[in-house]
Structures are given as C-alpha cells and as structure tokens.
Amino acid sequence: MNNPDFSQPLPLEENLSWAVGFVERLDEAAGKEIWRGGKAEGNQFPWCQLPSVVDEFLLGCGTRGLMRRDYDAAILGKLAEGSVQLESLDLLDTLRVLTAHIRADRFCEGHLASALRSGEFQEVLRRLGRLIEGGADTAE
C-alpha cells in the first residue's frame, strides 16, 4: 500500500502528538452527536451535528498536515472485513486511514459519529501514538 505522494511531506512529530492527545476527549464525545433536520425541522435533509471537540480536531488535522491527498477509501472496507489489520500499517497508511474516515463523513452523513461511538476512530489515533513511540519516521 505504501505509495507515498512525495509532494506532500509527512507531518511533524509534534502535530502527530497533538492528534494523539485528542483520544480521551474524543472518547468522551462519542455518542453525543445530535441529529438535526427531518420533519421536525421543516423537512430539511437530516444531518449530524458533532460535538465541538470533533470540529476542533478536524480543523487541526487540516491545518497541521495530517490529511493525506493520496488516501484510498477502500482501506476502511479492508479493515472492516479483516483483510488488513490496523496494527500492520505504517505511519503513512495509518494517516491514510485517518483521512479516509474524515472524508467518508462527507459522503455518508454520520460516518464519523459511528466511528467515534464504536471507538474505531480513536483506535487509529492510538495506533499513531504507538508508531510515534516506536520511532516512526516523521518530517523533520
């Protein structure tokens, strides 16, 4: 899987650590989404309002270079079916999984809420933490 987009450098270790630092806050936010819209709100298309800590995290991911342009959404299916294990992924592919989750919410309303509730999203961040502790290559 590891076919890097060399025009996009790996993020700095401090930015990866920043993301890992959100795990407990995201654990606390899990299941606290609010569904809006529908008949109760004038037949507006239903949408998911995530807690503000999630918005803070998503904004930071974009500004801190954690989102990968070379992600492949199919990685989420491979993880779900078990043909790929999160623990086998390197730093680059783990960042691609993070990006795939974030991008999936754009196309499937509530994806992030579900991934937070199941703990799947936080587990990606925990994997990043283990990679940092193990000395994974990051930008200098």
Average pLDDT over residues 65-90: 93
Place of tokens 């239903």: 46
pLDDT of residue 100: 97
pLDDT of residue 3: 56
The pLDDT of 85-104, averaged and rounded, is: 95
pLDDT tens digits, one per residue of 12-62: 889 999 999 999 999 999 999 999 887 666 667 888 999 999 999 999 999
pLDDT score recorded for residue 12: 85
pLDDT tens column, 118-136: 999 999 999 999 999 988 6
Instruction: State the average pLDDT for the chain.
Output: 89
- Which two three-digit tokens encode residue 92? 């680059």
pLDDT of residue 140: 47
Helix (H, G, I), strand (E, B) or coil at 139: strand
Query: 88 pLDDT exceeds 60?
Result: yes
Dihedral of the alpha carbons of 40, 43, 47, 51, in degrees to the nearest 10: -30
Backbone angles phi and psi of 26, in degrees to 5: -70, -35
Helices within 50-90 (DSSP H only): 52-63, 74-81
Q: Quick one: average pLDDT of 69-76?
A: 92
User: Cα separations (Å) of 29 from 82, 103, 118?
Assistant: 27, 19, 12
CB 127 within 8 A of CB 94: yes
